[in-house]
Amino acid sequence: MVNPIYILTLSLAAGFLLTLIDKSGRKLSLTVFYGILSLNVFIIGEWFYRLTFLNTPTVIINTAGFSAPLSINLQLGMQEAFVLLFANLTALLSAVYLFKKFKETHISGLILYLIMIVGVNGLVMTRDLFNMFVFSEILSISTYALITLTETKKSLSAGFKYMIAGGIASTFFLLGVTFIYYFTGNLNLDFIHLGNFSNLGFISIFLLAIAVFIELKPFPANGWALDVYEAVDSGIVSVIAVVNSAAIFFVFYKIMPILPQNFLNVFGIAGVITFFFSNLMGLKQKNAKRLLGYSSIGQIGLLVASLIFTMHLPRSLMYLIVGGFFFNHLIAKAGLFWITGIVKKENLKDWNVLKNNKPLLVLFGILLFALAGFPPFAGFWAKWEFVKMLVHGKMFFVVGTILLGSLFEVIFLFRWFTLSIKGDEKTEHKNISLELSKMFPTTIFAGITILISVLIMKFFYDFNWLHALPVLAVLIINVIDFLPSKIKGILSLAAVLTYGYLIYPLESNIQLFFGIIFIIGSAINIIGTLNRKGKSEGFYGLLLMMIFSFGNLLVAITYLEFFLSWEFMTISSFLLILRGKKAQKASMLYLIFSTAGAYLMMVGFSLAPDLVSNSVLILSISNVSLPIAATILLSIGFMIKSGSLGVHIWLPEAHAEAESDVSPFISAILLKAGVFGLLMVGISYIKHTPSFDIFYWIGWIGVLTAIVGAFLASFQEDAKRLLAYSSMSQVGYIVASIAILSHLGWLSAMYLSFNHMMFKSALFIAIAGVYYRTHTRTMYEMGGLIKKMPLSFISVLIMIIAVSGVPPLSGFGAKWLIYSSFIEKGWYLQAGVLFFASGVSFLYLYRIIHTIFLGQLKYEHQNVKEAPIWFIIPQYIFIIGIMAISMFPNLIIQPLNSIAMRYFNSSIIIDGYTISSSLGYWNGNLVMYVTMGVFVVPLIFLMLFNGRMQKVKQFNIVYAAERPESPQTTHVAHNMYAHYRKALGGWGKPRIWDFWHEVSEWSHSLADSIRQLYTGNGQTYILHIIMYVIVIYFISGV
Amino acid sequence: MIFSLILGFLLLIIGLYGMLTQKNLIKIVIGFSIVDTGTHIIIVSIGYLSGKTAPILDSTVDLANAAKQVVDPIPSALVLTAIVIGLAVTALMLSFVIKLYQKNKSLSIDDYQELKW
Amino acid sequence: MIKRIFILLALVGLVLMFIPFLRDFDFHKELSKLSSQYVEGSINDLNTQNVVTSVIVTYRGLDTLGEVTVLFLTTAGVGFLLRKKKASLKTRRSSELLQTASQFLFVLIILTGIFIFTHGHLTPGGGFQGGVLITTAFLLLILADVNLKFNYSILHFVESFSGVFYVMIGLFGFLILGMNSFLDPTILPLGNYGKLLSAGAIPVIYSLIGLKVGSELTTIIDKMGGE
């Protein structure tokens, strides 16, 4: 093992000599330069390994032959080694990134860089306050000079602002150190204790702390930092934002023990405020680097807050939280800054050049997901534990602020991401040059983020390997992405079925039931995707990820496992939706609402009491009583996913804009995950009666969702949008039935869920077929397709009968069950509204079959063929399913009865094919025969006695006068239910849409007015700093 | 010496006032320099012990009882480092000013605020 | 105008922050424990007359190494910023008198500078002060003749090697005396108290610092001089 003093001295000596070495050629000096940087990484890496895994005791190195406090000492423990390892690694990789620059620039550039790292290393290791000042000045001065590596007006002026701001901060630091020496007679951190200070002396600690804190860029005293982030070369800025910040953060950590608690509280809150406001202001940002700057500042604020609030936690947990945030920020931010230097586009809208560059896009995606704190990356675990800890500490205000800030961050990061993939801004498509020296470091960091996530999942949480499956699926499919999509599709189908078999021995019927919806339903839907041509790169990976996450929801044991699968599901479905042609806005809406929902759930789960058994969550939840707040938060979270009224606006967009073979997954299956969750909340709720009847209101929301969804569906011109709103309406029924909290209610909810899965899948696949042939989703542009696509027609016909609830198909049974359950519960008004909603649903169902399949065939569609076989097969499988449960309802009612009986006394009697409740009975089998009879007898009669059928040709119709501009719009199919819309009057306005639109406008304009603080004037920035010092001084009441 | 302490703080405030109000970049640097000087005076003055001599233990000091006769050597050592660092920062600031002036022919800080928001 | 008010508010706020502090400030009457240890250690362990020097070079040697590094960085930074070749200025040649006098003074000042940094352990002053004095000598030359060109190779050589030797002396302590002895001056004999050759490696280190500071500051002044 090499003594750590060498990482200071070797770099220093090399720095001194580089001018001379350079005289014999840049090659030699570059060799020395990179050699020393690598050596540093190696030395520290070895120490990190020893200190962490071999339990080597912390090393303390005194200097000059005297021990502290006489001389200055250095300390290298596990924490120091951790920080240094990543700082040095980042520095090395940044240097690799800057290789081209270093080859050409003045030798001083290399010297400055090398000695900057000395500053970082010294700053982290030293225990002496004044020595910290010296090293921090080494760090700052070299940074100031390196800013001019790209010599532009912007970088120079940013550098100047940085210098004067840094100068002020170090003046405060120096004053603080001086007075600390005066009051304690010591400069060594290990010999200074809070007790040494008189009241008068606290000002000295304050000055020291505020100086370090200002270097950590608190809002609003951080304008200088933003300018630096925007103006400086990507390679250098990643060092400033990552390496320097890490070192200064560690200094803050080192001085924390001598800070009084009231200071720490103020700093913690200031960190949270910084996090919130920088992310809010990030919303308005169009410049990529400045955007990262805002995010960077926010993350550091969060880091400080997490450090302060987790101080008293057990070490390992604190390491996970602070280390997680630290790591996440460090790695992801460096990588993203590097990518900005590779792409070389300032405006976010120009980033769609990434579209054609898969390797870079993948790196970008990984780092962005990591930064946003999505699983499986370190930030996710840190956020989960941090929120849990804050909730336990009853710091709800802090939790709210942090989560809202995170939401803003997700919004601006992913707006950037979706713009990169789907942005339609016209830019000249120059290919981005992927220089090896720049790609290499970025790839390494993306790799490290993944590695760390694996380590956390394996060693910290010890998850069942099933929970890694969603990620593995993506990786594996990525490896075999060169195969044609058919093969990958069949492999995926096999994988899903194998997965189903693997998790099959389930503990309970309720899991089995949802397992059938999630796994079998998905498997059948995969058949529809086999129609894809080409390679469909990445598609099957995401699809498998989503399906596996569905399944993992069922077998999750802890809250965290459940939430993890939930997030995996969100990520994968978001990316799937994003694959749609015009899905940028739609996927954003989906992600924003899902993330908001996920955050509510996170708080909800944190409020939930510990689980007492080792069963799967859906079972063990019945033994814990969720507090009211948790019930409400979790319900809202799940209802967002199931598209309930008020938070439904993502749903039509996402369902409509997703690729047409993805929509069935989203609409028929994904929504059921929300249903599953709500049922889970219900299970805990019924076992323990809280004082406030939440589910009464949930019931109302469900009912209103059903009716509003039905109306909205009727007014759509777009077939997929119509189906989407129809899903919203149907899930409204389901939610309402769950909310009844009775045997019959849950029975009908599950029954309808199953039904809905089948008919909505089939309908979406049918529409996919139609779209595939006609290339339009606008219904009035179609018509008369019955002749061209008879098989699709039959399937749609059967399915809309199943939806509408007319006999004989299963929908009738569903409706009968629902009304019975409502009446039994005594919710008459709700039942009435639902009944009305069913009436409305006839409107849209009629519309879809009429405008697409009936009427006149359009001229353009003369040569349309039947939908491809891959679309027909799944539809007919679902038809068989629908038919089976319509004929033999016991197939499904019986198991559902047994599931519901676990929670309620049975209220129905099953006798043969007859199901009787307190309100009457239903015999599906008999209904089927009767209806068949009623249908078949007149049909035979008509066919026999009404032989004179006449077909109306298209050109029988003569336009009365002139030819209209776009003839379709004069057709009845266009704006079909205009009169109903008129009848609704003011109720027809998209109020909820308007509401969310206003929310967005307001937050953006708020962001815009706050960021006016940053005037760009260096003097204003100093003023901010001084005022910040004064305000914090008086707040912390020194 | 309370007066030198007050003087130090006074210089600090004056320097800050200069940094905040002067538009000329060079004057801002001068302001910073004054702040720096103020800080140094503060550091030196807290090491002062009234009635004692410089910590140079030549023949005029009784070696056996040296610690009772000299002022605090630590602030003197610290201030030396601080001065050198202050000088370094000032030099670098001035180079920035030179560079900015070369590029844009302006010394007014108002001309360098295109980076904002 | 509003900005003015804020500036005044900020400064008044700062004054308010410090006033209670200054009002109740009371000065120490005795040396702190640490300082007394330094004073005694300087006599007993280091044989150094100048306590400040022993603090700077030995007890807080790492600070001083850092300080030298800061200066070095500034040289590199200024060199990096002003990396374009400077143009010769067309100026009137300065008078014969000025030139001769400055050359005469140059030697005197250099000698004084060397005296100061070699006697840093005995008398007030040391490497930094000596180095600065040496720089003033060069400054004098530059002032006398603006277009004066220095031999950069020598400057760089002195600068680099004085720095490297400094680090090496530090490492010698570390290698010979053990891992807690980075920058330990006792690798050389301590000699007799009060003599030039005493205090172990302190005068050597201080001389190297003097050379380094002198050459660095000269480079800085030269770089900035022509701009």
List of chain C residues whose C-beta atoms are within 8 Å of the C-beta of residue A118 = 69
Beta-carbon separation of B84 and C67 below 8 A: yes
Which amino acid, B9? Answer: F
Q: Using an 8 Å Cβ cutoff, are A810 and A889 in contact?
A: yes
User: Of A112, A399, A104, A380, nearest to A269 (Cα)?
Assistant: A399
Tell me how far apart the alpha carbons of residues A555 and A26 are, in angstroms, rounded to a whole number: 60
User: Of A106, A181, A112, A1026, nearest to B88 (Cα)?
Assistant: A112
Which tokens sit at A92?
A: 């090395």
Q: Is residue A730 part of a domain?
A: yes
List of chain B residues whose C-beta atoms are within 8 Å of the C-beta of residue C81 = 92, 95-96, 98-99
User: Of A162, A149, B33, A157, nearest to C81 (Cα)?
Assistant: A149
Nearest beta carbon to residue C63 from set B2, B55, B81: B81
Q: Where are the beta strands (DSSP E) in B1-117?
A: none
Nearest beta carbon to residue C79 from set A70, A106, A144: A106
- For residue C98, give how far its alpha carbon lies from the nearest alpha carbon of chain A (Å): 34
Low-confidence ranges of chain A (pLDDT < 50): 958-960
Tell me which DSSP letter residue A857 carries: P
Last residue of a domain, one of A938, A966, A998: A938
Number of domains in chain B: 1
- For residue C63, give how far its alpha carbon lies from the nearest alpha carbon of chain B (Å): 7
Residue B40: band (very low, low, confident or very high) from pLDDT cuts 50, 70, 90: very high
Last residue of a domain, one of A909, A938, A967: A938
Give the chains touching B; criterion: ≥3 Cβ pairs < 8 Å. A, C
Which tokens sit at A381?
A: 């675990």
Can you spell out the DSSP letters for A694-723? HHHHHHHHHHHHHHHHHHHHHT-SBHHHHH
- For residue B25, give how far its alpha carbon lies from the nearest alpha carbon of chain C (Å): 16
Mark whether A1031 and A908 lie in a shared domain.
no
Q: Domain with B97 in it: what CATH number?
A: 1.10.287.3510
Last residue of a domain, one of A879, A909, A938: A938
**B25-46 vs B73-104: helix axis angle to the nearest 10?**
180
Q: Is residue B21 part of a domain?
A: yes
Domain that holds residue A561: 463-938
Tens-place pLDDT, residues C151-168: 777 888 888 888 888 888
Beta-carbon separation of B102 and C42 below 8 A: no
Nearest beta carbon to residue C38 from set B63, B73, B92: B73
List of chain A residues whose C-beta atoms are within 8 Å of the C-beta of residue C200 = none
Count the neighbouring beta carbons within 10 Å of the beta carbon of residue C104: 10
- In a mutational test of the A interface, the residue from C36, C60, C64 whose CB has the highest number of chain A CBs within 10 Å is C60
Beta-carbon separation of C13 and A9 below 8 A: no
Average pLDDT estimate for C59-74: 88
Beta-carbon separation of A160 and B96 below 8 A: yes
Beta-carbon separation of A154 and B43 below 8 A: no
Beta-carbon separation of A148 and B99 below 8 A: yes
Q: Is residue A392 part of a domain?
A: yes
Longest Cα pair distance anywhere in chain B, in angstroms?
65
Beta-carbon separation of A16 and C182 below 8 A: no
ipTM comes to: 0.96
Beta-carbon separation of C31 and B92 below 8 A: no
Q: For residue A592, how many C-alpha atoms fall within 13 Å in the half-sphere facing its CB?
A: 26
Beta-carbon separation of A1033 and C17 below 8 A: yes
Tell me how far apart the alpha carbons of residues A8 and A213 are, in angstroms, rounded to a whole number: 26
Mark whether A875 and A838 lie in a shared domain.
yes
Mark whether A795 and A899 lie in a shared domain.
yes
Tell me which DSSP letter residue A576 carries: H
**Interchain CB contacts (distance < 8 Å): B and C:** 135
Q: What is the CA radius of gyration of chain B?
A: 20
Tell me how far apart the alpha carbons of residues A671 and A593 are, in angstroms, rounded to a whole number: 14
- For residue A193, give how far its alpha carbon lies from the nearest alpha carbon of chain C (Å): 16
Q: Using an 8 Å Cβ cutoff, are A728 and A851 in contact?
A: no
Beta-carbon separation of C25 and B84 below 8 A: no
Beta-carbon separation of B93 and A160 below 8 A: yes
Q: Is residue A151 part of a domain?
A: yes
Entry field: residues in chain A: 1038
Q: Is residue A985 part of a domain?
A: no
Q: Is residue B70 part of a domain?
A: yes
Tell me how far apart the alpha carbons of residues A782 and A862 are, in angstroms, rounded to a whole number: 11
Q: Is residue B116 part of a domain?
A: no
Q: Is residue A212 part of a domain?
A: yes
**Omega cis (within 30) before A609:** no
Beta-carbon separation of C49 and B84 below 8 A: no
> What are the residues whose beta carbons fall under 8 Å from the beta carbon of A116, sequence distance 6 or more?
A91, A138, A139, A142, A143, A146, A239
Q: Is residue B117 part of a domain?
A: no
Q: Using an 8 Å Cβ cutoff, are C191 and C198 in contact?
A: yes
> What are the residues whose beta carbons fall under 8 Å from the beta carbon of A62, sequence distance 6 or more?
A68, A71, A72, A73, C180
- For residue B58, give how far its alpha carbon lies from the nearest alpha carbon of chain C (Å): 6
- For residue B50, give how far its alpha carbon lies from the nearest alpha carbon of chain C (Å): 7
List of chain B residues whose C-beta atoms are within 8 Å of the C-beta of residue C32 = 72, 74
Torsion of the alpha carbons at A481, A484, A485 and A491, rounded to the nearest 10: -80
- Specify the 3-state DSSP secondary structure of A910: strand
List of chain B residues whose C-beta atoms are within 8 Å of the C-beta of residue C123 = 56, 58
Can you spell out the DSSP letters for C14-78? HHHHHHHHHHT----SS--HHHHHHHHHHHHTS--SBHHHIIIIIITHHHHHHHHHHHHHHHHHH
User: Strand order of the sheet with strand A920-923?
Assistant: A909-911, A914-917, A920-923
Q: Is B11 on the interface with A (CB under 8 A)?
A: no
User: Of A128, A119, A345, nearest to A240 (Cα)?
Assistant: A119
Q: Is B92 on the interface with C (CB under 8 A)?
A: yes
Tell me how far apart the alpha carbons of residues A882 and A886 are, in angstroms, rounded to a whole number: 6
Handedness of CA A941, A944, A947, A951 (dihedral sign): positive
Number of domains in chain A: 2
Tell me how far apart the alpha carbons of residues A613 and B59 are, in angstroms, rounded to a whole number: 83
Strand pairing partners for A63?
A: C182
Q: Exposed e or buried b for every residue in A582-615, given b needs 16+ CB within 10 A?
A: ebbebbbbbbbbbbbbbbbbbbbbbbbeeeeeee
Strand pairing partners for A188?
A: A128
pLDDT of residue A959: 47
Q: Is residue B36 part of a domain?
A: yes
Q: Is residue B93 part of a domain?
A: yes
pLDDT of residue C146: 67
Mark whether A404 and A469 lie in a shared domain.
no
**What's CA C202's distance to the chain center, in Å?**
14
User: Of A594, A534, A255, nearest to A414 (Cα)?
Assistant: A594
Tell me how far apart the alpha carbons of residues A965 and A967 are, in angstroms, rounded to a whole number: 6
Q: Is C76 on the interface with A (CB under 8 A)?
A: yes
**Interchain CB contacts (distance < 8 Å): A and B:** 122
- For residue B110, give how far its alpha carbon lies from the nearest alpha carbon of chain A (Å): 7
Q: Using an 8 Å Cβ cutoff, are A382 and A320 in contact?
A: yes
- Specify the 3-state DSSP secondary structure of A423: coil
Residue of B nearest to A231 (CA): B115
Beta-carbon separation of A12 and C69 below 8 A: yes
Which amino acid, A331? Answer: I
Beta-carbon separation of A174 and B113 below 8 A: no
Q: Is residue A454 part of a domain?
A: no
Which tokens sit at B95?
A: 């180079």
Q: Exposed e or buried b for every residue in A119-145, given b needs 16+ CB within 10 A?
A: bbbbbbbbbbbbbbbbbbbbbbbbbbb
Tens-place pLDDT, residues B88-104: 999 999 988 988 888 88
Which tokens sit at A717?
A: 């011109």
Q: Using an 8 Å Cβ cutoff, are A906 and A900 in contact?
A: yes
Mark whether A666 and A803 lie in a shared domain.
yes
DSSP H helix total and E strand total for chain C: 8, 0
Beta-carbon separation of C35 and B67 below 8 A: yes
Q: Is residue A681 part of a domain?
A: yes
**Omega cis (within 30) before A220:** yes
pLDDT of residue C227: 54
Say whether pTM exceeds 0.90: yes
Tell me how far apart the alpha carbons of residues A528 and A1009 are, in angstroms, rounded to a whole number: 50
Tell me how far apart the alpha carbons of residues A214 and A218 are, in angstroms, rounded to a whole number: 6
Tell me how far apart the alpha carbons of residues A338 and A341 are, in angstroms, rounded to a whole number: 5
Domain that holds residue B49: 2-54+63-111
Q: Is residue A619 part of a domain?
A: yes
Q: Using an 8 Å Cβ cutoff, are A725 and A844 in contact?
A: yes
Instruction: Name the most confidently modeled range: A451-465, B64-78, C44-58.
Output: A451-465
pLDDT of residue A951: 64
- Specify the 3-state DSSP secondary structure of A784: coil
pLDDT of residue A601: 94
Instruction: Give me the helices (H) in A185-260, please.
Output: 202-215, 223-231, 234-238, 245-255
